[in-house]
Amino acid sequence: MKRRTMKVKALKPVTPGQRGRVVIVGDNLTKKRPEKKLTVPNKSTGARSKGRITVRGRGGGHKRLYRIIDFIRREKQNMLAEVIALEYDPNRSCNIALISYADNEKRYIIAPEGLEIGTKVESGENVKVAVGNAMPLRLVPVGTHVHNVELHLGQGGKMVRSAGQSARVMAKDAGFVQVKLPSGEIRLFSEKNFATIGRVSNAEHSQRVLGKAGVSRYLGFRPKVRGTAMAAGEHPHGGGEGRTGTGRPPRTKWGKKAYGVRTRSKKNKRNPLIVKRRGEK
């Protein structure tokens, strides 16, 4: 059987909005509605709390159904599940897989690259190292690419869930496993934490080009005014004649340092778990 893959397609400029637009064509995705029992309403807040804007430049967007994803993979250990569908998820950049367990219970998981319909996946300690299988980090061979990594034991996967991303197991020692994250940071994780084998699907997501402002509005983004374009009293970057730049040091609208200033607390008790920070040589 010929394997179907995601592909990038540049649209013909038959309208101004399609000029330069690049979309992802999901030939490998199943054409079906999402599983009803695994969806809940996803009400938009408009980035407001108690009526006040908490995040500028957000609001509107297309209506969505939230798909309930099983990030934990602990409840059905050592029970085989078959992939019955690969689906698009509007709430994340990667694709998701619908799996059916031996007891006929269905769940959604993040779809790794190379996972196909009909593939058997499993989670637990006595499973083989194969794409889509979840297991404790102590059982993952050094050099293996993983995703959906637990940050805290039993909390479910929190790290490495974006399209095309993967972390790499570097070393094991004294109950901890060194994992190199996509940012380049090397961090210690408990050897009991679960991770899923493989890279996250839909790596082509980074190649898409929206093409027009309207597509950005569909995604829930509203227009945003640059600080340098504001008046002097509205933003620290504002004022001046013509294009004056941000000045030094650049600031947020509320006067805090911006653009690359480290915000991690020196008192964070998990700092010793970071073996190497991103960007360090």
Contact 16, 212 (CB under 8 A): yes
Which is nearest to 200 in space by CA: 109, 138, 117? Answer: 109
Residue 121 backbone dihedrals phi, psi, to 5 degrees: -125, 160
User: Would you say the pTM of this structure is higher than 0.85?
Assistant: yes
**Burial (Cβ within 10 Å: 0-12, 13-18, ≥19) of residue 3:** exposed
- Which residue from 152, 11, 4 is spatially nearest to 74, judged by alpha carbons? 152
In three-state form (DSSP H/G/I as H, E/B as E, the rest C), the secondary structure along the chain is CCCCCEEEEECCCCCHHHCCCEEEEECCCCCCCCCHHHEEECCCCCCEECCEECCCCECCCCCCEEECECCCCCCCCCCCEEEEEEECCCCCCCCEEEEEECCCCEEEEECECCCCCCCEECECCCCCCCCCCEEEHHHCCCCCEEECEECCCCCCEEECCCCCCCEEEEEEECCEEEEECCCCCEEEEECCCEEEECCECCHHHHHCECCCHHHHHHCCECCCCCHHHCCCCCCCCCCCCCCCCCCCCCECCCCCECCCCCCCCCCCCCHHHEEECCCCC
Per-residue pLDDT of the chain (281 residues; tens, 9 = 90+): 344 567 899 999 999 999 999 999 988 899 999 999 999 999 989 999 999 999 999 999 999 999 999 999 999 999 999 999 999 999 999 999 999 999 999 999 999 999 999 999 999 999 999 999 999 999 999 999 999 999 999 999 999 999 999 999 999 999 999 999 999 999 999 999 999 999 999 999 999 999 999 999 999 999 999 999 999 999 999 999 999 999 888 999 999 999 988 889 999 999 999 999 998 87
Looking at residue 4, what is its pLDDT?
54
pLDDT at 7: 87
Q: How many Cβ atoms sit within 10 Å of the Cβ of residue 194?
A: 26
Q: What is the pLDDT of residue 2?
A: 44
Locate 279 and state its tokens: 């960007």
The vertex-31 CA angle with 30 and 34, nearest 5°, equals 85
Domain 6-206 in CATH 4.10.110.10? The answer is no
Task: Please tell me the predicted confidence (pLDDT) of residue 22.
Answer: 96
- The CA-CA-CA angle for residues 104, 107, 111, to 5°, reads 125
